[in-house]
Amino acid sequence: MARPITTVLCDLDGTLIDSRRDIALAFQHALRPLVAGILPDEAAIAQHIGKPLEHMAQALGYHLSPPQLLTFLETYRSHYAACGARHTRLYPGVTATLHALSSLTLGVVTTKAQEQAETVLRHVHLTSFFQHIQGSVPGLQLKPAPDTVVAALAALHRAPQQALMVGDTAADILAGKAAGLKTCAVTYGFGAREELQQCQPDYVIDTFSDLVGLVGGP
């Protein structure tokens, strides 16, 4: 790298954690009273994780009215909060890799609501690794817009030229690029490899542990 990476921003779902089961259960629970017929299965829902919830519903063919959408969002969030991250697991090598990169400035940028993101990170014992957690908050457009990435850098007092955005979906890569960061796609998450490659990330890795060789450690 021409300039050393000093800051690494990580997406959460599909990058640090495999949360597909908990997200799918909450999604199905919230959708069940609003629609008729068979609900989408876990695999179908997982293809759209990383998008805002309303966009996930639309992508799966559910066009909810404004009152229905409000009910859906409230039900999803309350169910997710009540059930926690009981099925959520870290991807292999995440804890060891974050330890190895502890000399760098580390942050999380996620589409999850702020409180949800903080709760899940506590549940999987990752909170202490990150100097900032940037979730979805009012006034900021979500990825692929650069807003949350820019907000995270501002909170960390770091410049984009020496920062890397790591994520598993096109939205992560596009947001990082739009904010002026180097980007790294991971292939083990929810995003399709072909879609990630079309976004032309600077780097592509097959395991989270590969980050150590990419950006170095202490």
**What secondary structure does DSSP assign to 60-107, as a single string?**
TT----HHHHHHHHHHHHHHHHHHTTTT-EEPTTHHHHHHHTTTSEEE
Structure tokens at 213: 């060789």
Strands of 7-10's sheet in order across? 132-136, 105-113, 7-10, 163-167, 182-186, 203-205
Identify the helix (H) or strand (E) that includes residue 118: helix 114-123
Structure tokens at 156: 């960390």
Residue of 11, 13, 147, 168 marked active site: 11
Our measurement of the distance from residue 55's CA atom to the centroid of its chain's CA atoms, rounded to an integer in Å, reads 15
**Does residue 11 have an active-site annotation?**
yes
C-alpha to C-alpha distance for 189 and 180, rounded to whole angstroms:
23
- Are 198 and 170 in contact by the 8 Å Cβ rule? The answer is yes
Q: Of the candidates 207, 184, 192, 205, which has an alpha carbon nearest to the alpha carbon of residue 8?
A: 184
191 CB contacts (<8 Å, ≥6 apart)? Answer: 14, 50, 167, 168, 169, 170, 172, 185
Residues labelled catalytic: 11
